[in-house]
């Protein structure tokens, strides 16, 4: 009897060299030059070899592939064509609208950010549903997607890319479910679209030399305590604004001074650990005192259960007389790290949760450089506070915040 279950979940994840990896009993993992991985079941039916696609290894786990392969082998032993069995599922092929809504509902269970949940389906409702919403997922081709994307590809470039990515997810799920065959048209449609212009400018950023003075002015400013705390926390962690505003207490470990942001809230969709400086821990204690019963670290006063809006932080920055963006503080941090420290670029990029651009380097890097990043963020915190002061006096608004009445969360 042929050996079975030769692969493991880890070996599937680590398989990078192009080629065929055998699990046994005809189940194969094919790895392509571009890094794509797909499951294939090789069978002999009535003396004829058939290769049946079972989906992408990114969407179909090893266990799911084995289960599906077992079903099709059973069908083949009964004399039924496994390819025909796959196609039989098309009797219940959904429309794109139905498939998108089902996929949205499935993904919503792991998303905590309400704004992201709404945006995911709303972009499809606005741009895709009017053109392809009533088409069966089995009938959608690259021409249909060109019809969706062409009107917005150049004038709303970022939105268009997100729409394309979400269409790709819906159609790939349909293929895994047996509702369509062949190449995902979302992977082929770019050939018919013009090259998008590069962004003409970056987010305006405060010069890093001006950040300590700006933070001192922030301490002396008036306004809502949670807004000032959130703005300073954003500066000190060099995190993206939405990552900070969506922070939850179950992501914070005060004992180890670590903030662990789950993958679904990260731009790169990978979990990211942020080492917290002493001042960050002080800010968190003050934030907890302001809203002790909230699951969010920086909750909105107006909308129960919702985080602060990014506009609240931007407007407070405007009241401090600055015209830059809050996101620009990430550039301030990166410039400071490059100009004023000896930390390696890899450490600085990891602190910003940037992907490793070099695929070879990315393949060999396993850790997240957390220990070195902890030193880096501590140094940034000291710089922002004023490195010449060996011991920081309590900020004026620390005392004011601690005396504020606790508000319901």
Q: What is the pLDDT of residues 299-315, one digit of tens each?
A: 988 878 889 988 999 99
Most confident of 77-81, 215-219, 300-304, 405-409: 215-219
Note whether 260 and 355 are same-domain residues: yes
Note whether 323 and 220 are same-domain residues: yes
When the pLDDT of each residue in the chain is averaged and rounded to a whole number, the result is 83
Task: Tell whether the model's pLDDT for residue 283 goes beyond 90.
Answer: yes
Pick the range with the lowest mean pLDDT from 58-67, 286-295, 335-344. 58-67
Domain at 188, CATH number: 1.10.150.130
Note whether 17 and 126 are same-domain residues: no
Domain at 308, CATH number: 1.10.443.10
200: in domain = no
Cα 164 → chain centroid: 16
Closest to 217 measured CA to CA, from 231, 203, 205: 231
40: in domain = yes
Per-residue pLDDT, 89? 53
CA distances, 200 to each of 191, 194, 196, 203, 326 (Å): 23, 17, 12, 10, 19
**What residues have CB less than 8 Å from 250, skipping those under 6 apart?**
295
Note whether 84 and 107 are same-domain residues: no
State the pTM of this model: 0.52
**What does DSSP assign to residue 302?**
S
Note whether 85 and 106 are same-domain residues: no
Closest to 163 measured CA to CA, from 205, 197, 138, 132: 132
At 112, is the pLDDT very low, low, confident or very high (cuts 50, 70, 90)? low
197: in domain = no
At 387, is the pLDDT very low, low, confident or very high (cuts 50, 70, 90)? low
Pick the range with the lowest mean pLDDT from 172-186, 188-202, 318-332, 386-400. 386-400
Note whether 230 and 348 are same-domain residues: yes
Task: Tell whether the model's pLDDT for residue 386 goes beyond 90.
Answer: no
Residue with tokens 């919503």: 108
At 74, is the pLDDT very low, low, confident or very high (cuts 50, 70, 90)? confident
- Give the end of a domain, one of 192, 222, 247: 192
Q: For 216-272, what is each residue's pLDDT tens digit?
A: 999 998 888 899 999 999 999 999 999 999 999 999 999 999 999 988 888 877 889
Q: Which residue has the higher pLDDT, 158 or 4?
A: 158
Note whether 124 and 271 are same-domain residues: no
- Give the end of a domain, one of 91, 125, 145: 91
Note whether 187 and 213 are same-domain residues: no
Instruction: Give the span between the Cα atoms of 48 and 16, in whole angstroms.
Output: 31
Task: Tell whether the model's pLDDT for residue 37 goes beyond 80.
Answer: yes
Task: Tell whether the model's pLDDT for residue 391 goes beyond 60.
Answer: no
Residues paired with residue 115 on neighbouring β-strands, in sequence order: none
Note whether 234 and 341 are same-domain residues: yes
Task: Tell whether the model's pLDDT for residue 199 goes beyond 70.
Answer: no
- The 10 Å CB-count burial string (b at 16+, else e) for 219-236 is eeeeeebbbbbbbbbbbb
- Give the end of a domain, one of 192, 223, 255: 192
Note whether 136 and 159 are same-domain residues: yes
Average pLDDT over residues 66-75: 85
85: in domain = yes
Q: Which residue has the higher pLDDT, 126 or 2?
A: 126
Per-residue pLDDT, 91? 57
245: in domain = yes
Residue 175 belongs to domain spanning: 96-192
Instruction: Give the span between the Cα atoms of 204 and 315, in whole angstroms.
Output: 15
**What residues have CB less than 8 Å from 409, skipping those under 6 apart?**
291, 292, 293, 294, 299
Instruction: Give the span between the Cα atoms of 61 and 77, in whole angstroms.
Output: 24
Note whether 13 and 146 are same-domain residues: no
If one counts the domains in the chain, the total is 3
Note whether 135 and 154 are same-domain residues: yes
Average pLDDT over residues 43-50: 78
Domain at 49, CATH number: 3.30.160.390
Average pLDDT over residues 103-111: 79
3: in domain = no
End-to-end CA distance of the chain: 63
Residue with tokens 């009938």: 139
Per-residue pLDDT, 359? 45
């Amino acid at each position: 009897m042929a050996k079975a279950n030769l692969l493991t979940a880890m070996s599937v994840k680590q398989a990078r060299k192009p080629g065929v990896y055998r699990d046994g009993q005809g189940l194969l993992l094919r790895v392509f030059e571009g890094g794509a991985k797909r499951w294939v079941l090789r069978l002999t039916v009535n003396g004829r070899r058939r290769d049946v696609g079972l989906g992408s290894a990114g969407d179909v786990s090893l266990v799911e592939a084995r289960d599906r392969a077992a079903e099709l082998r059973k069908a083949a032993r009964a004399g039924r064509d496994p390819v025909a069995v796959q196609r039989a599922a098309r009797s219940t092929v959904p429309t794109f609208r139905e498939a998108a809504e089902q996929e949205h509902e499935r993904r919503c269970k792991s998303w905590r950010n309400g704004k992201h949940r709404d945006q995911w389906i709303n972009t499809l409702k606005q741009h895709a549903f009017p053109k392809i919403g009533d088409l069966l997922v089995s009938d959608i081709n690259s021409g249909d997607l060109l019809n969706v994307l062409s009107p917005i590809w150049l004038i709303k470039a970022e939105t268009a890319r997100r729409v394309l990515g979400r269409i790709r997810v819906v159609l790939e799920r349909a293929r895994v479910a047996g509702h369509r065959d062949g190449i995902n048209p979302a992977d082929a449609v770019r050939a018919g679209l013009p090259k998008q212009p590069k962004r003409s400018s970056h987010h305006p950023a405060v010069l890093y030399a001006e950040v300590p003075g700006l933070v001192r002015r922030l301490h002396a400013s008036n306004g809502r305590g949670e807004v000032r705390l959130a703005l300073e926390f954003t500066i000190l962690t060099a995190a993206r604004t939405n990552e900070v505003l969506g922070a939850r207490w179950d992501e914070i470990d005060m004992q180890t001074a670590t903030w662990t942001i789950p993958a679904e809230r990260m731009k790169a969709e990978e979990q990211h650990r942020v080492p917290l400086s002493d001042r960050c821990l002080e800010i968190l204690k003050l934030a907890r005192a302001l809203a002790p019963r909230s699951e969010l670290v920086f909750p909105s006063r107006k909308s129960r259960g919702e985080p602060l809006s990014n506009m609240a932080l931007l407007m407070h920055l405007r009241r401090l007389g600055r015209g830059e963006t809050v996101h620009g503080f990430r550039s301030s941090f990166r410039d400071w790290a490059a100009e004023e420290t000896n930390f390696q670029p890899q450490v600085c990029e990891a602190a910003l949760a940037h992907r490793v651009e070099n695929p070879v380097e990315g393949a060999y890097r396993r850790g997240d450089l957390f220990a070195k990043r902890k030193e880096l963020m501590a140094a940034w915190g000291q710089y922002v506070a004023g490195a010449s002061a060996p011991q920081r006096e309590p900020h004026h608004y620390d005392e004011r915040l601690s005396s504020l009445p606790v508000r319901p969360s």
